[in-house]
Every structure is written in structure tokens, then in C-alpha cells.
Amino acid sequence: MVGRTSRKSLAFKIINQEVINQVTKMTEAAKDRDFVEYVVKQIVTNPDAVKVDRKIDEMGVLITLDVDPADMGMVIGREGATAKALRTLLRVIGAKNNARVNLKINEPEGSEKKPQNKSIDEVVNGI
């Protein structure tokens, strides 16, 4: 009987530890999503339009970001610098949690770059 009790106790401890590990992973899992949401909401002009989704597949974690079309330039940054920085920081968070984290920025409908046709006078007067 003593052997059974200790086996049950050991099994309970193992299961309990697995539950704790799962809860910890779930909490850590939300960190990457929450990080992206927080940073993006701080840099856009319409934070209510920011939507962040998180999915896990065979390639790792995919975080999908949707923003207002007017804010797309702020999220991408000059020559993609802001998006690249976000992806780099996500890679660090993923490495800390032993996961590969990718960021996909969805292009909103109708977000084509509009050419700015300004005359030289309009440009000079703006200065």
C-alpha cells in the first residue's frame, strides 16, 4: 500500500507540475501578443482600430496585426524600420520562451500609396 500511495503522490505531483507549466506557457504566450498590441497602440493615431490575433501552427507562433489604413505608415516606418524592430523584439521574446514568433502585418483594403503631387510653391510655403 505504501508503494501505491507514493506512486499516486508522485503521479499527482507530475500532473500538478504539468498543469503549472501549461498555465505558465499560456501566460507567457499572451506576453508576445500583449507586447505587440501595447507598442502599436502607442504609435498609431487610431488605437481603437488596432487588432492583434495570435495563432500557433507547425511553424511556431503567428501574430497577425491589423491597423487603420491611415496608420499603416506609422507601423511600417521609414524603409520598414519600425516593422523590422517589432519583429526583432518578438524574436527575442520568442527565444526566451523557446518559440519562433512571426509578425504578419495585414495590408488594409484601399491602402495604396497615394502619390503626392505638390508644386514647388506648395512645398516651399509649407516650410
Please state which CATH number belongs to domain 2-108. Answer: 3.30.300.20
Note the Cα 46 to chain centre separation in Å.
18
- C-alpha to C-alpha distance for 58 and 67, rounded to whole angstroms: 26
What pLDDT is attached to residue 27?
A: 47
What pLDDT is attached to residue 23?
A: 47
- For residue range 8-54, what is the model confidence (pLDDT) as tens digits? 566 656 665 665 555 455 545 578 899 999 999 999 999 999 999 99
- For residue range 70-126, what is the model confidence (pLDDT) as tens digits? 999 999 999 999 999 999 999 998 888 888 899 999 987 765 555 567 677 777 776
Residue that is written with C-alpha cell 511553424 in the block: 59
What pLDDT is attached to residue 6?
A: 66
Domain residue ranges in the chain: 2-108
In this predicted structure, the answer to whether residue 3 has a pLDDT above a threshold of 60 is no
What pLDDT is attached to residue 7?
A: 63
What pLDDT is attached to residue 20?
A: 55
Q: What is the mean pLDDT of residues 3-11?
A: 60
Phi, psi of 65 (to 5 degrees): -115, 130
Q: What is the mean pLDDT of residues 55-69?
A: 90
DSSP E strand stretches across 7-75: 51-57, 60-66
Q: Which residues pair with 101 in a beta bridge?
A: 61
